[in-house]
Structure 1
């Protein structure tokens, strides 16, 4: 019981104001969430795309800078290996340490090497090592014949005349660029240039975020460069090699999860050295700024949502106050109180227009109720008048029957026939309220009409009827449809001189056609157009029925449309034919049954 009472108390609150408030709240919330979500997602994508683009550009610039430097070193190596006087002859010289000749050779080749690197700050050492144990160098660190047994020497010799790039194991401050020295198609030694590692670190100092990681791996998956001071959570070397292999055939950037942490991995392989550069950008660090902006957007959205809710509450209240007033007025009208005090609603919107329409409706309702009271009063008076008028047709029929009976007693057949025809004609016109009659009934009324009309003329009027099928006599047609056509044929056709009027009833292409033809004087096209056209003020209507040919045509055409109606055909001095086209309605037609 308490729950039902609570529902009854809160249910009226979900009125128009509540619906408007909830609609505004939902639309606003949906709009804010949609806009905020779209902006945040686009911002994240833009930040990631910008980071990828920036890192790729930085790596490309670093690779190009390193390639330019390596190309210059390769040219220095080419100068060294192609110098026969200072290099090749010195390596192949038979002089031994320590002798005057060896000292001269040492001075010659050392001066040559020093001249090559004096203006190259990124070169820490250039050395020529002969396979016979002779070692010459300029720069630091110290190098002697023990170098012949190192992996670097083996690597350079394996690569032959191709430039070799190698970082010696255990060396953290140089990268060696070497090339084999050949004479008479035989290797006699190697030339090596040590590149200052600080230059490499400056070249690859690409850090879009503070905890980004960058690694350079050679073709043997050895690390040429690695970010210094990498955090303990940084991936291991084995993991990075695996990432490089997983990246084979992929694009320039991809999102990967490495050791449980999401990274954007950017990869670029140098076409000159074959080295692969991997840049790892942690997603959480990269998107930290977007997270801050997201939180700020959420706070702003909540404030905007609260402001919109307050505004929508005020607006819905102002919007529905006139509706509540109008509802109160309608409730009074429903209770039958039409003389309530009117609450003026002055707004110019739809509610104001509805108020004025309602007031006009109430005024009209008052007028209609007054009209109903007057109509009821007049109706009672008309019923009394109609009761009195019911006696008149019966009195007229009885009087005509008396005249007919007296004419028969006194042997006056023409008066008897005229009285009987008039009785039948008046019974059909005044006593039958149906709109439809059968063709048989219509023809009977026409026969009664002709029986009256023939006494007006000197010569007799012959009425002939041709029925194609007796079943057509039962077909329904509009009441008084043939009589105006016959009247027109007698008055304007045969005239006082008498003649023949032929009525032909037949079916054609699913329609009922009735033709009324006379052998009178005919009529011109202008006369036919006048009969079927607009009415002339001077024209007299049909004297008996009040309907002319035009009325018959309009009645049929309005009820059934084109091509039904009346058409006239005439030849002056020969004939006139009025053709009526009517839908062939059967005995089962619903409208005919309802009329009957």
Structure 2
């Protein structure tokens, strides 16, 4: 069954196979293109999503950072807290003033909107007088604890307008954990008092939890210390450390790349804040995208199968619609092959097969006409052959007769007859060889001279012939025989003879743009300007005393047929002055 199917050579079967193959190829290309495009877009979407997520979190952290720095600067530079006025907090006035300062500090913390994450805001001096607010328990020695911390001097040296955050152990009493300090020397009443804010890392973690998208999140300082992490596997901490170190060494502040952790592919996006030094890193497992790719592949495969099934169904419908007119066309061609040239109107529909049907009907009609014409041509050919045999004269007999006449004239010393017979003999010999061969310009000019010799006998030296060839090499140029003689003949009969006075015919040959140009000019009666366009299109009836039956229009048509439409004759004339006919053909040797 399969073998018989493969050997099927009908047009219907071929069309079905071609259609199915084309549909399959288109379906494969469409499916693969869609899969690749959709997969690329899915990866790009994931990258954009991760980048936006990291940027959003970083922007939030930067806003918090700006608020905290501004809070410390307000406390340090606006001279709101005069610690020297508190003394040792012994009097009621001093204690009341201290409470007012504490409330003011608490209000500052609350105004930021992040008061729950401010572990401590302290304004203190070297005599252990301090004002504080925040979530941590207060102690009388908070100022001393801060001043004695190993990182105190380091924090004081930082520029407040480019303050990089560090993670330190909390210096406060019974406060276990880490804190992020921002410390500034006050510019107010004393040289030895400071403002210090301690931010809880919990702020960073809570933000990660709030925007949790299922990926691993890391927030570190510019030194690589972890401020907060979310969904970081225990077994990947070493790999994460290497990743953090790699990101910190980079010059760019943000980016996204593919990274391998424990041999598995991950998508890593990071953002480094230039002022705070906080680094936000998001790690996305590419296996999530693989699941999406598998689902996408299944969808594309289903679409491909649907397209193929639809294509096969459409192919069956199409081939059935095409088969019937093709069968009618085949039957009609078979009848034509058997000699039945009748027309079949049902084939001439408006579609492409209908056009073929019209062409077949036209062809059968033309075949019938051609067969009838061929029979008529055969009859006419037979008739012409009979007439030619009747009119044929042996050329050798004619040449021998002319030669006898010439010798009689020589004996009688009649040079005019000798010249005329010699010229006529040459003319007849040249014409007997045919007019389609190409000869040299020298041979064509000799033929013209012989013709002029005979015509001068008739017109008693009424005209002269002058020949001007610009280059000697042009004598060897090839030209179709009997091109110039009809032009010279036209100059005699249409130019000089009607004027009734002596004239001159000038033949001028020259090379121009790799073409051979030959001008035949007479100083006869000329041609009216309005009649010039008709000359080459007019099939004039030749006079009985003209030598050739070619005529000027036929010369032009013959040159165009041989060399091309851009070549042939051109006419220039002025009534009462001259006529000039120019031959233009390719220069050939």
1:172 aligns with 2:177: yes
For the residue of structure 1 that corresponds to 2:281, the secondary structure is strand
Distance in 2, matches of 1:528 and 1:27, equals 67
- 1:439, distance to aligned residue in structure 2 (A): 3.9
**Coordinate RMSD, CA, aligned:** 5.8
SS in 2 for 1:224: strand
The DSSP-based 3-state class of the residue aligned with 2:388 is helix
**8 Å contact from structure 1 (residues 125, 195) kept in 2:** yes
CA contact (8 A) 1:421 1:449 kept: no
- Within-5 A mapping of 1:368-379: 368-379=370-381
Q: Distance in 2 between matches of 1:569 and 1:363?
A: 52
Q: In 2, are the aligned partners of 1:209 and 1:285 still within 8 Å (CA)?
A: no
Q: Which residue of 2 aligns with 1:492?
A: 498
- Which of 214, 218, 222 aligns to 1:214? It is 218
Contact 2:517 2:584 in 1 (8 A): yes
- SS of the aligned residue for 1:15 comes to helix
| Matched position secondary structure for 2:59 | helix
Instruction: Rate the CA distance shift 1:18–1:316 in 2: closer, same or farther, 3 A.
Output: farther
Deviations 1:89-122 (A, max 9, x none): 329xxxxxxxxx6x97996687456434555452
What whole-Å deviation, never above 9, does each CA across 1:364-411 have from its counterpart, x for those lacking one?
A: 1122123223322333343334333437x99x979x99xx99x99xx9
**Counterparts in 2 of 1:446-457, with a 5 A limit?**
446-449=452-455, 451=457, 453=458
TM normalised by structure 1 equals 0.66
| Correspondence 1:545 to 2:542 | no
Match of 1:559 in 2: 559
**Where do residues 54-93 of structure 1 align in structure 2 (5 Å cutoff)?**
54-72=53-71, 75-76=74-75, 82-86=82-86, 89-90=87-88
Query: Does 1:156 find its partner at 2:152?
Result: yes
Superposition deviation, residue 337 in structure 1 = 5.4
Q: Which moved more, 1:163-172 or 1:576-585?
A: 576-585
Q: What secondary structure is seen at the aligned counterpart in 2 of 1:154?
A: coil
1:223 to 186, 208, 226: 226
Taking the aligned partners of 1:178 and 1:328, their CA distance within structure 2 comes to 100
Partner of 1:44: 43
Output the CA distance in 2 between the equivalents of 1:425 and 1:191. Answer: 132
Partner of 2:563 in structure 1?
Answer: none
Q: Kindly tell me the number of residue pairs found equivalent between the two proteins.
A: 537
Residues 379-398 of structure 1: pairs in structure 2 closer than 5 A: 379-390=381-392
Q: For residues 224-249 of structure 1, give each alpha carbon's deviation from its aligned partner in whole angstroms, at most 9, with x where no partner exists.
A: 3333x643355347336414423x31
Q: Distance in 2 between matches of 1:304 and 1:58?
A: 45
Q: Deviation per CA, 1:141-172, whole angstroms, max 9, x where unpaired?
A: 36475995789723224434868865416833
SS in 2 for 1:68: helix
Residues 214, 278 of structure 1: 8 Å contact kept: yes
Report what 2:440 is aligned to.
none
Q: CA separation of 1:493/1:536 partners in 2, compared to 1, >3 Å: closer, same or farther?
A: farther
Match of 2:245 among 234, 242, 255: 242
For 1:531 and 1:288, locate their aligned partners in 2 and report how far apart those are by CA, in whole Å: 85
User: Do the aligned residues in 1 keep the contact of 2:217 with 2:282 (CA within 8 Å)?
Assistant: yes
Partner of 2:308: 306
Native 8 Å contact 1:25 1:308 kept in 2: no
Report the Cα distance in structure 1 between the residues aligned to 2:537 and 2:296, rounded to whole angstroms.
Answer: 86
> Larger Rg: 1 or 2?
1
Alignment partner of 1:115 is 2:116: no
User: In structure 2, what is the equivalent of residue 263 of structure 1?
Assistant: 267
Give the aligned partner of residue 98 of structure 1. none
Higher mean C-alpha deviation, range 306-315 or range 108-117: 108-117
How much does 1:348 deviate? 2.0
The range that moved more, 524-533 or 257-266, is 524-533
SS of residue in 2 equivalent to 1:257? strand
Cα distance in 2 between the residues matched to 1:335 and 1:191: 113
Name the CA shift for 1:262/1:347 in 2 (closer, same or farther; >3 Å).
farther
Does the 8 A contact of 2:219 with 2:228 survive in 1? yes
Given the superposition, is the C-alpha separation of residues 347 and 135 from structure 1 closer, same or farther in structure 2, using an over 3 Å criterion? same
Match of 1:141 in 2: 137
